[in-house]
Amino acid sequence: MLATSAYTAARSGDRTTALVMADEARRAARNLPQVPPAGRLFPITPAAVDLYAVGVHWALGDAGDAPEAGTNLHPGQFPTAERRPRMHTDLARAWWQGDRTAQAARELLAAARVSPGEARDRPAIRAIAQDLATRHPRVEGVRELAAAARTTPTAPVMPSRANHS
């Protein structure tokens, strides 16, 4: 509940509340098992709370803090097919916000490999994939990502020398 409230506060622009609640959620999560008990629909683990922290910092516009919050996250920490791609898309948005295009592309491609609909069907994520395809077509993985998101990679348009003479 603390992590969700922190994200909600961040999305509404309440920086102080968001950061305080995110810190409280992290403190509370320290005592949780790393591997959730079997049968939980949405298991709360320290990794799940860290993933919320990525979203909190992203929502606050903290381009450096968002990926830092997710430094220790990896797909094996998320047992459900819904949470694994979300980890990748949340990290991708954080990297994208910090102009780290290669990292953003890598995470979006990983999300698309786990769940093709993540890149294709989520408008905000598809927009990042399209922007990568348009502005950064030579970044590793962008062409494959564009195909997964059904966007068209294009080379940047370079002004001709004739217009400058």
Please report, for residues 38, 58, 147, the alpha-carbon distance to residue 125 in angstroms, rounded to integers and kept in the order given.
Answer: 31, 14, 14
Mean pLDDT of 69-91: 91
* Spacing of C-alpha 13 from chain mean position: 19
Per-residue model confidence (pLDDT) at position 152: 52
pLDDT at 34 over 80: no
Which residue did the predictor score with more confidence, 162 or 126? 126
Mean pLDDT of 16-37: 89
C-alpha dihedral over 120, 124, 128, 134, to 10 degrees?
A: 80
Look over the chain and give the mean of its residue pLDDT values, rounded to a whole number: 87
Closest to 95 in 3D by CA, of 83, 112, 107: 107
Per-residue model confidence (pLDDT) at position 31: 84
CA distance 85 to 90: 9
Q: Which amino acid is at 43?
A: P
* Neighbouring residues of 63: CB distance < 8 A, sequence distance ≥ 6: 94, 97, 98, 99
Domain boundaries, given as residue ranges, for the chain: 1-74, 81-155
Over the stretch 42-79, which tens digit does the pLDDT of each residue have? 668 899 999 999 999 999 999 899 999 999 999 999 87
Per-residue model confidence (pLDDT) at position 32: 81
Assign 3-state DSSP to the chain and report helix, strand, coil percentages, each to 5. 65, 0, 35
